[in-house]
Amino acid sequence: DGGITQSPKYLFRKEGQNVTLSCEQNLNHDAMYWYRQDPGQGLRLIYYSQIVNDFQKGDIAEGYSVSREKKESFPLTVTSAQKNPTAFYLCASSIDSGFYGYTFGSGTRLTVV
Amino acid sequence: AQSVAQPEDQVNVAEGNPLTVKCTYSVSGNPYLFWYVQYPNRGLQFLLKYITGDNLVKGSYGFEAEFNKSQTSFHLKKPSALVSDSALYFCAVRDMDSNYQLIWGAGTKLIIKP
């Protein structure tokens, strides 16, 4: 079955560490997105990519970095510069820029310990 | 600027009663509208979308939504609520000004009481 796989499901980070969240899709979608969701809150866009080797900052990109070396993969790195990284992170993809909507992964819950 | 609003943080409905979750939008041109549902600790799941055509759109799990152009609304409805419908619901509109991304509402928590 086609879909988006996010891993790991749970991730714990020590202060000062960088961590990388994985997002892989086999839907042949061109566009991919990273969102952050805090408890009881809506979605805030971190980064998005509409094509391989190109990506744009979203509303809250500070302290995060991404790469898009392959169409299938869009990893997100949470750097030590992100002062409050504890959140639920969602990856999504779309066949184009959203005409048919987005397909979401199941999320990664990141906790700072 | 284009936007979408969900005016209710939470909606409480008794099981078996009809439910409505409200969404209003502001866009230039014709709106492309979506509803998604999120269960705890899960990703968002697509429910339905309006692109063009009939104002009443039918979707997954018995949900439907009514597009009202004059009121710029796209309310989500279900005739008879189930306890399992309890979840977080998001409305979204396609942003024609910003690379056609989806703009998301803040979400509405739906609680169905037995």
Q: Show residues of chain B in contact with A2, CB under 8 Å.
A: none
First to last CA, chain A: 35
Mean pLDDT for chain B overall: 93
The pLDDT of residue B100 is: 67
Instruction: Compute CA distances B36 → A21, B63, B106, whole Å.
Output: 23, 11, 12
Average pLDDT of the residues in A79-104: 89
Verify whether the Cβ–Cβ distance B99 to A56 is below 8 Å: yes
The pLDDT of residue A78 is: 96
3-state helix, strand, coil in chain B (%, to 5): 5, 50, 45
Residues B87 and B91: their CA atoms lie apart, in Å, by: 13
Verify whether the Cβ–Cβ distance B101 to A88 is below 8 Å: no
Choosing among A50, A97, A106, A111, which should be mutated to test the B contact, i.e. which has the most B CBs within 10 A?
Answer: A97
Verify whether the Cβ–Cβ distance B94 to A99 is below 8 Å: yes
- Contacts of residue A64, defined as CB under 8 A and 6 or more positions apart, other chains included, come to A34, A46, A47, A76, A77, A78, A79, A82
Q: With left for phi above 0 and alpha for psi between -120 and 50, is residue B53 left, alpha or beta? A: left
DSSP-assigned letters across all residues of B77-93 = EESS--GGG-EEEEEEE
Average pLDDT of the residues in B81-101: 87
Average pLDDT of the residues in A72-95: 94
pLDDT interval class at B48 (50, 70, 90): very high
Average pLDDT of the residues in B68-74: 96
Instruction: Compute CA distances A69 → A54, A66, A112, B42, whole Å.
Output: 9, 10, 28, 27
Q: Which residue of A has its CA nearest to B31?
A: A99
- Contacts of residue A1, defined as CB under 8 A and 6 or more positions apart, other chains included, come to none
A32 versus A96: the higher-pLDDT residue is A32
* Sign of the four-CA dihedral A110, B95, A96, A94: positive
The pLDDT of residue B67 is: 96
The pLDDT of residue B98 is: 67
Tokens describing residue B36: 């998604």
Average pLDDT of the residues in B48-74: 94
pLDDT interval class at B30 (50, 70, 90): confident
What residues of chain B, 46 to 105, have a C-beta less than 8 Å from chain A?
Answer: 46, 49, 51, 90, 92, 94, 99-102, 104-105
Average pLDDT of the residues in B49-69: 94
Verify whether the Cβ–Cβ distance B43 to A45 is below 8 Å: no
Shortest distance between the Cα of A15 and any Cα of chain B, in A, equals: 24
